[in-house]
Amino acid sequence: MMTAYGLLTLAAATLNAGTPLALAALGLALNERAGVINLGAEGMMLLAAATGFAVAFQTGSPWWGLAAGAAAGAAPAAGFALLVIVFNANQYGSGLAVMLFGSGLSAFAGGTYAGRSLERVQAGWPLLREIPWLGPTLFSLHPLVFATMALAGLSGWFLYRTRAGMLLRAVGESPESAHALGHAVGRVRLLAILAGGVCCGLAGAYLSVVYTQLWSEGMVAGRGWMALALIAFGMWHPLRILLGAYLFGGLTILQFQLQSMGVQLPSQFLAMLPYVCTIAVLALRGADPAWLRRNMPRSLGRPFLPER
């Protein structure tokens, strides 16, 4: 039977594993609330992971690595925004182009750093780490873990309690009506896309700089696609998305926990559990058109062509 300390350790590992999923999904949810779907999350996260690791390796500062990763996520997001807002390109095709671009460029640029690792730096909160039980587990987590929780709460407050958030949701529901009232639909969507790029960048950099402290080609391993599925799983609501991210993070940790407990299951089966759950969630949500109409932004994926 697992002890109380073991449960705390498992909870900390779940939070750690779920943080990059939550960061990426929260950013992408802002995109979708504005009516834009970006399928390039995987590529943006890979590019940010390579950039963040390279900067952290050269400077010796994880914080500079995270900042560089955020910038590396925002850059392709800006290119995506140019395609879909200015040139009215297809959102799905443009997102896939960003994904392929980021995957290829990260493999090329990160080749120099393959097999290298960062110097171990003790994360967490200096004084709180000394608290028995909680200190070595929860308070040894990186501050970005707790910042992600705060981001989910702030996103919910922004979307449902502020004028700017209501405008963002209005653009996602009916950009024609928002435009008729004099609001700059393109500017709102641009800011939402850039915010999503920054969050995806932080998520990718977190993976290489904090979570694994190394770089390897393809290390994001489908988390960008899982983040997209999490948005539908959480019904486009930040707090539900956060809980879903921790559920998926827990499934990732479960495979290691079961192996340590001597459960005789093929490792390949355990590794595919999060992805099987992702597919199941999408299938169940997509089977109910009424649910989609109630929760999904009505203009999602549709270009907006204002009268000139």
Give the pLDDT mean for 244-249.
90
| Within a domain: 281 | yes
CA atoms of 278 and 96, how far apart (whole Å): 19
- The pLDDT assigned to 153 comes to 97
Banded pLDDT at 148 (limits 50, 70, 90):
very high
Alpha-carbon distances of 172 from 130, 204, 230, 236, rounded to whole Å: 47, 26, 18, 12
Looking at the structure of the chain, the number of domains it has is: 1
**206 located within any domain:** yes
Q: Which pTM does this prediction carry?
A: 0.92
Query: CA–CA separation, 196 vs 291, rounded Å?
Result: 25
- The answer to whether 50 touches 113, Cβ cutoff 8 Å, is yes
**Helices 62-81 & 41-59 angle (0-180, nearest 10):** 150
Helix 185-205 to helix 4-33 angle, to the nearest 10 degrees?
150
Exposed/middle/buried for 55, CB within 10 Å: 0-12, 13-18, 19+? buried
Arithmetic mean of pLDDT, 146-151 = 96
Q: Which residue type does 267 have?
A: S
Burial class (CB in 10 A: 0-12, 13-18, 19+), 130: exposed
Residue/partner pairs of 1-5 with CB below 8 Å, 24 or more apart: 4/133, 5/133, 5/137
**What angle is formed at CA 158 by the lines to CA 156 and CA 162, rounded to 5 degrees?**
130
Whether residue 40 lies inside any domain: the answer is yes
For residue 131, pLDDT over 60 is answered with yes
Do the domain assignments include residue 304?
no
Gap between the Cα atoms of 148 and 251, Å rounded = 19
In a domain, 303, yes or no: no
Judge whether 307 lies within some domain.
no
What residues does 129 pair with on adjacent strands?
A: none
6-18 residue pLDDT tens: 778 888 889 999 9
> CATH number for the domain including 22?
1.10.3470
Per-residue model confidence as pLDDT tens digits over 206-222: 999 999 999 999 999 88
Q: Are 106 and 81 in contact (CB under 8 A)?
A: no
Q: Is residue 88 part of a domain?
A: yes
The pLDDT tens digits for 250-286 are: 888 877 776 666 666 676 776 677 677 767 776 776 6
Provide the residue range defining the domain that includes 181. 4-295
Q: What is the pLDDT of residues 63-122, one digit of tens each?
A: 999 999 999 999 999 999 999 999 999 999 999 999 999 999 999 988 889 888 888 766
- 306 found inside a domain: no
Mean pLDDT of 158-184: 95
Q: In whole angstroms, what is the distance from residue 304 CA to residue 110 CA?
A: 37
